[in-house]
């Protein structure tokens, strides 16, 4: 069995999980994780649109978020290096939240597919 390289190892060990509430470390938005890519899985055009001095490594987990800021709700794709756990306890208002998650006291957001199993 071949040994995993450190890059492959990093791509399999996501720090956050589906249902975690996170915030961006640079920009004023937060959200709930609804999917995880072990490494970058978006277009090259998307990646190159990020200013070079802020462009994250592709070889890390990337997270799909039901995101929101003070003005709007949207879906975001964010590298692990740019996320922090949000422990503010403030409720989220994203309109798709109830479609995908159940809010369970003391557990946070649990994916509806996990609740059904």
Domains and CATH numbers, the chain: 6-116 (2.30.30.390)
How far is it, in rounded angstroms, from Cα 71 to Cα 76? 15
- The CA distances from residue 66 to 5, 8, 69, 95, in Å, are 32, 27, 11, 9
Match 């964010």 to its residue by tokens: 78
Q: Would you say residue 3 has pLDDT above 90?
A: no
Q: What is the pTM of this model?
A: 0.85
Average pLDDT over residues 88-110: 90
Q: Is the dihedral of CA 3, 5, 11, 15 positive or negative?
A: positive
Structure confidence by residue, pLDDT tens digits, 30-77: 999 999 999 999 999 999 999 999 999 999 999 999 999 999 999 999
How far is it, in rounded angstroms, from Cα 18 to Cα 12? 14
The pLDDT of residue 57: 93
- The CA distances from residue 22 to 30, 35, 67, 97, in Å, are 6, 13, 9, 14
The pLDDT of residue 107: 81
The pLDDT of residue 117: 46
């Amino acid at each position: 069995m071949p040994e995993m390289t450190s890059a492959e190892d990093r791509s399999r060990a996501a720090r956050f999980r589906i249902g975690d509430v996170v915030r961006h470390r640079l920009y004023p938005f937060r959200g709930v994780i609804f999917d995880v890519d072990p490494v970058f899985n978006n277009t090259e055009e998307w990646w190159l649109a990020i200013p070079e001095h802020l462009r994250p490594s592709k070889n890390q987990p990337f997270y799909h978020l039901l995101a929101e800021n003070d003005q709007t709700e949207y879906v975001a794709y964010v590298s692990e290096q740019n996320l922090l756990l949000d422990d503010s306890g403030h409720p989220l208002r994203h309109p798709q939240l109830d479609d995908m998650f159940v809010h369970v006291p003391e557990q946070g957001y649990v994916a509806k597919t996990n609740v059904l199993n």
